[in-house]
Amino acid sequence: MIINKSKRTWVEISEKNLVANFNTLSKISGSGTKKMSVVKSNAYGHDIVECAKILEKAGSDFLAVDSFEEALLLRENKIKKPILVFGYTHKDDFEKASQENISLTISNIQSLKDAVKIDSKIKIHIKADTGLHRQGFLEDEIDQVKDILLKNKNITPEGLYTHLAGAESNKFKKYTEKQISNFNKWIDGLSEINSSIITHCAASAASLVYPESRFGMVRFGISLYGLWPSEEIKESVPDINLKPVLKWNAILSEFKKVKKGEPVGYNCSEKLSRDSVIGIVPVGYWHGYPRHASKKSFVLINGERAKVLGKVSMDMIIVDLTKIKNPKQNDTVTLVGKNKNEEVTAEELADHCDTINYEIVTRINPGIERVLK
């Protein structure tokens, strides 16, 4: 479903920057390490199908998604590379996964028992909980996992992996090192099951600052899209240049003069401190522009900043055009990205909303058209 054929709002995706980021990250991880590109959750808001096609062509060894449905969508769009589903997959889909060559995460005893009952071999990646305490087998389950796999020779795990809880911050350095150490126990414990098993631990943050976490494969996520896992990671690797892939634009649909003291927006939430020119931009929280940005964030018009006034509505925001020279109906308004020499980053918008850049881009409505540039 595309909700904006009339181009009231659209997202531009830079294929050049996506490939450049993949190449930069690949060089860091080394030639002997497999590369997994994470395109889950609509490729962090960037368009799962188009990004998968670009990354497959760029040389990614694996693609990763959250759900079985996302994996099927990629297969339906002729994506041939190996695909790993990170999230839970119902046992009723195991047979289909085998037929479509889709690898599944197995992270609990019941799912493992269900998997070994399948007649046709399915590819699985064992997920170890080394300290995040989300998905995954606990350390005291190593022997039980090993025993189930040894008794059922029809299934050999393709991969073994874990996820780190705080690799993006140096204050969790000791905990991260402990998790890596715990993961090595899993590698030792399952070594006789499959000596060539693909081991992976590092997502974007760890792949950049913990070389010992790279193992057999690294998982490029947020960094692929030119966004940093944290400011701390960015400062830790000053020689690495990542380029934002996404730019979110809309149009200026109308503007008018309103006198000082007049209220603006729902609940009369802001009063104008001067005679003002206000503009309407036809995007709101339905489109993914966060309501928490009300009265705090900025958009860009003609290379200048325009403050958001009043409450963000479901389908519109009001912006202050008083200092914008010669605004015109249908002028391009940039919500995230560069406009001439000015820029509003996903990080800046996230700061206004007390959240993270991941949430800003991922929550851009998937119905908004993505345009490759």
The answer to whether position 3 is within a domain reads no
133 and 38, same structural domain?
A: yes
- Asked if residue 76 and residue 193 are part of one domain, the reply reads yes
Residues facing 343 on adjacent strands? 338
**CATH code of the domain covering residue 273:** 2.40.37.10
The mean of the pLDDT values for the chain is 96
Whether 358 sits among the annotated catalytic residues: the reply is: no
* N-terminal to C-terminal alpha carbon distance within the chain: 21
Mean pLDDT within 141-154: 94
Per the domain annotation, does 22 fall within a domain? no
Residue 40 annotated as catalytic:
yes
Give tens-digit pLDDT for 61-84: 999 999 999 999 999 999 999 999
Q: Quick one: pLDDT at residue 7? A: 84
High-pLDDT (> 90) share of the chain, %? 95
Residues 223 and 314 in one domain: no
**Would residue 234 count as lying in a domain?**
no
Q: How far apart, in whole angstroms, are the C-alpha atoms of residue 320 and residue 262?
A: 13
Residues 288 and 334 both lie in one domain: yes
Residue 200 maps to a domain: yes
Residue 316 sits in the same domain as residue 288? yes
List 34, 35, 40, 53, catalytic entry? 40
- CA–CA distance from 289 to each of 243, 293, 346, 349, 371 (Å)? 22, 8, 11, 9, 18
Residue 6, pLDDT > 80, answer: no
Tell me the C-alpha distance between 317 and 334, whole Å.
13
Handedness of CA 351, 357, 363, 364 (dihedral sign): positive
| CB proximity list for 255: less than 8 A, separation 6 or greater | 277, 278, 279, 280, 321, 327, 329
For residue 154, the model assigns a pLDDT of 83
Distance CA 176, CA 181 (A): 9
- Residue 178: phi and psi, rounded to 5, are -65, -40
Q: Which of 185, 266, 340, 373 is catalytic?
A: 266
pLDDT at 5 over 70: no
Residues linked to residue 334 through DSSP beta bridges, in sequence order = 249, 300
Domain boundary among 227, 258, 277: 227
216 and 350 within one domain = no
Render 313-352 in DSSP notation, one character per residue: -SS-EEEE-TTSSS--TT-EEEEEEEETTEEE-HHHHHHH
Residue 6 located in a structural domain: no
**Do 258 and 193 fall into the same domain?**
no
Q: Mean pLDDT across the stretch 47-70?
A: 98
Arithmetic mean of pLDDT, 190-195: 92
pTM for this predicted structure? 0.96
Residue 199 and residue 253 in one domain: no
Q: Is 187 exposed, middle or buried (0-12, 13-18, 19+ CB in 10 A)?
A: middle
Same domain, 132 and 277: no
Instruction: Supply the pLDDT for residue 253.
Output: 97
SS3 (DSSP) at 296: coil
Q: Say whether both 119 and 38 belong to one domain.
A: yes
> Which of 232, 268, 226 lies closest to 247 in space, CA to CA?
226
Q: If pLDDT is split at 50, 70 and 90, which confidence band does 4 have?
A: low
Mean pLDDT, residues 251-257: 97
Helix segments in the chain, DSSP class H: 15-29, 40-45, 48-58, 68-76, 94-99, 109-115, 142-151, 173-189, 204-209, 231-236, 346-352, 357-362
For residue 324, the tally of other CB atoms under 10 A from its CB is 20
Does the residue 16 lie in any domain? no
Q: What is the CATH number of the domain that holds 65?
A: 3.20.20.10
Q: What is the pLDDT of residues 320-345, one digit of tens each?
A: 999 999 999 999 999 999 999 999 99
pLDDT in tens, 151-184: 998 899 999 999 999 999 999 999 999 999 999 9
Residue 20 DSSP SS3: helix
327 within a domain of the structure (yes/no):
yes
Q: Residue 119's pLDDT is what?
A: 76
3 state SS of 280: strand
> Tell me, what's the pLDDT at 153?
83
Choose one of 227, 261, 294: the last residue of a domain: 227
Domain count for the chain: 2
Q: Which two tokens stand for residue 1?
A: 């479903």
Confidence at 296, pLDDT banded by 50, 70, 90: very high
Task: Find the domain containing 195 and state its range.
Answer: 33-227
Res 120: pLDDT = 79
CA angle 246-205-228, nearest 5°?
30
Which pLDDT band holds residue 121 (cuts at 50, 70, 90)?
confident
For residue 143 the two structure tokens come to: 């022997």
**Same structural domain, 104 and 213:** yes
Q: Examine the domain organization and report whether 131 and 178 are in the same domain.
A: yes
